[in-house]
Amino acid sequence: MSVQATARIVADGTALPVLTGDGPLALRRTRTRGTGLHVTVVGAMSAPLGGDRLAIDAEVRAGTRLTVGSAAATISLPGRDGAAAHYDVGLRVGDDAVLHWLPEQLVAAHGSTLRMHTRVELAATARLVLREEQILGRHGEEPGTLVTRLTVHRAGRPLLDGELAFGPGAPDGWDGPAVLGGHRAVGQLLVVDPDFADKPPRPGMRGPNTAVSPLAGPSALVTAVAPDARELRAVLDSALDELVPGIRHG
């Protein structure tokens, strides 16, 4: 039996007036070092399974700082009838607000099919750090099918709209030298910061499998591939330290 579940977060100043989740999506306010509000997504059951429809909606109101992480990796698993699972994330960040969206990895287990779409709406003075990490298959297994799309608007104008597809049924060449080159971990890091308007990040490669690309706006996109989740996290953390110094230590 498939599951439909939605979790909602509203962050306003020092309060979380809305913090609700159902089904496999449990939300917990957590205390960590650093400033602002912190929320952790805790998986209450195995999900997403084929046929499930999950969603998270987060609003960060003006002047508020919010960090959202997850307690463990999300594993996409096959359902009984082969149907795809869907996972939608909606993020809205107000003026002078800051959102750090830093979930753990998404693992596409063999036989699964997951379609994920993350939509972000940013005010003109909002700041965003968004990390996505996809692991294609658990240890020693072939990957499932994974299609992810990231759509970002800033001040009502398009900033980024990109889609990645991997695994069985994806367009030919997804595992070829021009895309993954045999790697099984892929990630991207999006940083939006009004300060980049005056001092944009330096574009180019950061090692053999990591690239930094300034976008047409005060933002930069880091893309990386790696043989495993541990190495992928290391290269993305290194890029984050370069783009936002001190973020992981404050």
- Per the DSSP assignment, residues forming a β-bridge with 119 are 90, 151
pTM strictly above 0.85: yes
Indicate if the pLDDT at residue 249 is higher than 60.
no
Mean pLDDT, rounded, for 101-110: 95
Q: Supply the mean pLDDT for the chain.
A: 92
**Cβ–Cβ < 8 Å for 137, 109:** yes
pLDDT digits (tens, 9 = 90+) for 213-224: 999 889 999 999
Indicate if the pLDDT at residue 178 is higher than 70.
no
Going by pLDDT thresholds of 50, 70 and 90, the confidence category of residue 250 is low
Cβ partners under 8 Å of residue 17, min gap 6: 10
Indicate if the pLDDT at residue 44 is higher than 70.
no
pLDDT digits (tens, 9 = 90+) for 199-208: 999 999 988 8
Indicate if the pLDDT at residue 108 is higher than 70.
yes
Strand ranges inside the chain, DSSP E: 4-12, 15-20, 25-29, 37-43, 53-60, 65-70, 74-76, 85-93, 98-102, 106-108, 113-122, 127-136, 145-154, 157-166, 185-192, 204-205, 210-214, 219-226
Q: Which two tokens stand for residue 210?
A: 């990591």
**Cβ–Cβ < 8 Å for 214, 191:** no
What percent of the chain has pLDDT above 90?
Answer: 74
pLDDT score, position 28: 95
Indicate if the pLDDT at residue 39 is higher than 70.
yes
Indicate if the pLDDT at residue 152 is higher than 80.
yes
CB atoms within 10 A of CB 84: 18
Indicate if the pLDDT at residue 145 is higher than 70.
yes
- Distances in Å between the Cα of 131 and the Cα atoms of 5, 45, 108 are 23, 23, 17
